[in-house]
Structure 1
Amino acid sequence: MKNIFLLSLLVVSLFSCSSDSSSTPEEQMYFPPNDGSATWETKTIADLGWNQNAVQPLLNYLNETNTKSFIVLVNGRIVMENYFNGHNASSPWYWASAGKTLTTAVTGIAQDEGLLNINNKVSDYLGTGWTSAPLAKENLITVKNLLSMNSGLNDALGDNVSPANLQYVADAGTRWAYHNVYVKLQDIVATTSGQTWPNYFNTKLRDKIGMTGGAWLNSGEDLSVYWSNSRSMARFGLLSLNRGKWNGTTIVNENYFNQATTTSQTLNQAYGYMWWINGTSSFRLPQTQFQFSGEIIPNAPADMYAALGKNDQKIYVVPSKKLVIIRMGEVANPSNPTFGLSGFDNELWSKINDLFE
């Protein structure tokens, strides 16, 4: 009887310890309000237990590498927000190819609304003759091929996406090549929704997560580039960290978003639906058919996925650290300009890693 009593006390004691109100609950994800105010919760380097001594070397490096803005979010809260070289919180800047992921997101929204199916061929929505490829070859190209950059169209003819400039090289799905033909996704959304691309984008994505003041501006050759302030880019990064959900509301279907941020085809392991994926064993780069071994950014966490744009526009998303990092600016190394993935990424992550030590 005494043993039973002691066992009962032990069970009660264990239960009391496990439910102790003094234990620290996991911090909830924060989403800034959509009311256009400047309100955004913050955390400090000290709050996180990070290395304060690494902050100034990081800021010096960012300033020296032509950065205009740099934002770090953890659990949605701003930990660092810095502006350089005449830029400020309200200054717009271009996303370049980092904005391709906006098109990815809106394509997913349109699919969820039943306007399109990414497994259907592009000509189902745009009609035949949208390329100069033979009809049988054109009809091989699906919406997913545009998302995955394996349309088989010639990537060496510049940004122009008129039919005459969209020429057959290989069957869709058999060749990976970075190509601005992705903008045809915007045409598909506009055609199927009966709206202009900017209007559909604004109502279905931009306004729902409070990306105020941004706009699609034509850069020539039918290529539209997104411009916004840095916090708007950070909002999209936060949506992406939460796999398409914003403060409990689904904006982009989570299953679709998971597909977008994992390898989308067999040719380039580091590429999803216009998101770059770290942690793979090999990768390919634009303007080349070579395959490289290793990760695209070895110094970055293996679970990171990233939106990367020309002249080093960056959205880094790291789920394991509940981390979003934004970098806007001029090209970091003018002697080695790139489409978006460069040695700068690895050097920058070396500096960022010092924060965590």
Structure 2
Amino acid sequence: MPARFIAVVIALSFSFNAWAQAWPDRDWAQAPAPRTAAVEALEGYAFPARNDVTRQGVRTDALLVIKDGQIIYEHYAAPITATTAHSTWSISKSLMATVLGVAYGEGRFQLDDPVAHYFQPMNHHPEVRVQDLLHWASGLDWQEDYEYAPLNSSVVAMLYTRGRNDMAGFTASTRSFAAPGQVFRYSSGDSNLLSAALENMVGPHDYHDYPWRVLFAPLGIDSAVWETDTSGVFVASSYAYMTARDLGRVGLLMQRGGRWQDRQLLPKAWVDFNLRPFEHAVAAPGEATAGGQWWLNVPVGPAPRPWPAAPADTFAALGHWGQALYVLPGQKLVVVRYGDDRDASYQHNELLKRVLAAFGGEGAP
């Protein structure tokens, strides 16, 4: 059989598979799941009556469930609506990793490139590579404390005080505590160094519309807002905003291996890197394991997997105060959860357990 004929058959098969799957249009097709006791149990957990004066307990602002590319469940708590661009907090980190995936596919950088090639202040740390930042393993002595230790917090200083004008430059001025790539230490500073590096990867002229041009527009996302610091660098650690539906589009892209309709928007090698556990990752019980700026439901050492109610291939983008984008590939599920949780009431595993009971179907654990 001629090679040209085989290539045409493969291309047609790929196009048919993309066409056969449900893809969101501007308004996104809906196929609401029936009301069941399991759905009511999910709502009882996600949207309980609560005392907003004390801000105690679970407070969900938005919950969206997508299955096979269609919205099957959607609920909001006032004043949040389907058109509200909600704070994603540290989901921003996974969004930046997704933007970087497009740049990687364009040949703008390699994972083992020194970060200093793209951001000159990192000349003080010449051995730090791009992949080290993606693993939160720069070796920089960073303290990711928020309300609990604000005076010692690197991230509070970066976002709100002496580092706020040039967040990547502030991070680059941090001393080292370990060799790059050898120790996991979660760091919003590492994520902002990636954002600063992206500026020189794509060029200053293209940088400020790059996420919209290469990722948001192809996915049909029109609600995205991404704040910059005073130096003009996107705050990749914290300050992206979008609607639940638009964030769900990013989840669907990842659930389908970086493909969007008939286009491989993210290289498969990039998605594989995102979803591969960092070999030096550490995690407390119940905490997800670091991949490439995404979080994985795989155990560290002999411990059980972080979310035992969910399949092992579940992965997520997570943010402060309970923001979450969960992807469950085996169930073809994408779940967006926005919230405002000021205590430890909300639990990822509990929500995932109830989502799977309501919508998981075959293949649920």
- Common topology (TM > 0.5): yes
**Which amino acid in structure 2 is aligned with residue 110 of structure 1?**
A
- Cross-structure match for 1:349: 352
| 8 Å CA contact retained: 2:29, 2:70 | yes
Alignment match, 2:24 = 32
Deviation at 1:335, TM superposition (A): 2.8
Residues 99 and 163 of structure 1: CA distance in aligned 2, closer, same or farther (over 3 Å):
closer
Q: Cα offset for 1:196?
A: 5.3
Match of 1:4 in 2: none
1:260 matches 2:274? yes
Task: Give, as a single letter, the amino acid of the residue that structure 1 aligns with 2:40.
Answer: Q
- 2:251 counterpart SS class: helix
Name the SS for the 2:336 alignment partner: strand
Q: In the alignment, which residue of structure 2 is the partner of 1:103? A: 96
The equivalent residue for 1:8 is none
Aligned pair partner of 1:305 in 312, 315, 328: 315
> What is the CA-CA distance between 1:41 and the residue it aligns to?
1.9
Most deviating of 117-126 and 190-199: 190-199
**Structure 1 contact 148–265 (Cα < 8 Å) conserved:** no
Range with greater deviation from structure 2 (115-124 or 200-209)? 115-124
Aligned pair count reads: 302
Q: CA deviation at 1:205?
A: 0.3
**Match for residue 176 of structure 1?**
184
Q: What do residues 93-149 of structure 1 show as CA deviations (whole Å, max 9, x unaligned)?
A: 01111121111111121122122112111111212x337xxx4xx121000000011
Query: What amino acid is the match of 1:54?
Result: A
The 2-side partners of 1:329 and 1:196 are apart by: 33
Distance, in Å, in 1 between the alignment partners of 2:348 and 2:181 is: 29
- Which residue identity is paired with 1:204? V
Distance 1:201 1:114 in 2: 16
- Is the 8 Å Cα contact of residues 282 and 300 (structure 2) preserved in structure 1? no
Where 1:41 maps in the other structure, the secondary structure is coil
- Provide, for residues 19-75 of structure 1, a one-character-per-residue CA deviation record: whole Å limited to 9, x for no partner: xxxxxx9x9421112xxx32x2222325xxxx8221122112211221111111111
Question: Residues 304, 81 of structure 1: CA spacing in aligned structure 2 closer, same or farther, 3 A cutoff?
Answer: same
Instruction: Give identity over the alignment, percent.
Output: 24
Aligned to 1:242: 256
- Contact 1:230 1:326 (C-alpha < 8 Å) held by counterparts: yes
8 Å contact kept, 1:190–1:200: no
Given that 1:28 and 1:75 are in contact with CA atoms closer than 8 Å, whether structure 2 keeps it comes out as no
- Which residue of the partner structure matches residue 10 of structure 1? none
**Residue 353 of structure 2 aligns to which amino acid in structure 1?**
S
Query: Residue 198 of structure 1 contacts residue 216 of structure 1 at CA under 8 Å; is this kept in 2?
Result: no
Match for 1:167 among 164, 175, 179?
175
Choose which of 178, 193, 196 in structure 2 pairs with 1:187: 196
Unaligned runs of 5+ in 2: 1-16, 49-57, 144-152, 159-167, 284-288
For 1:54, what is the secondary structure of its paired residue? helix
CA RMSD, 1 decimal: 2.4
Contact 1:97–1:308 (CA under 8 A) maintained in structure 2? yes
Distance in 2 between residues matched to 1:298 and 1:324, nearest whole Å: 18
- 1:274 corresponds in structure 2 to 293
In structure 1, C-alpha distance between the alignment counterparts of 2:273 and 2:257, rounded to whole Å: 10
Between Structure 1 and Structure 2, whose CA radius of gyration is higher? 1
Higher relative contact order (CA 8 A, sep 6+): 2
Residue 9 of structure 2 aligns with which residue?
A: none
Unaligned runs of 5+ in 1: 1-24, 283-291, 337-341
1:321 and 1:305 map into 2 onto residues whose CA distance is 12
Contact 2:183/2:280 (8 A) holds in 1? no
Secondary structure at 2:269 match in 1: helix
1:314 corresponds to: 324
The answer to whether the 8 A contact 2:62-2:338 is kept is yes
In 2: Cα distance, 1:198 partner to 1:301 partner: 38
* Counterpart residue type for residue 279 of structure 2: Q
For 1:326-337, list aligned pairs within 5 A.
326-331=336-341, 334-336=342-344
User: What is the distance in 2 between the residues matched to 1:268 and 1:32?
Assistant: 37
Letter aligned with residue 307 of structure 1? A
Normalised by the size of structure 1, how large is the TM-score? 0.78
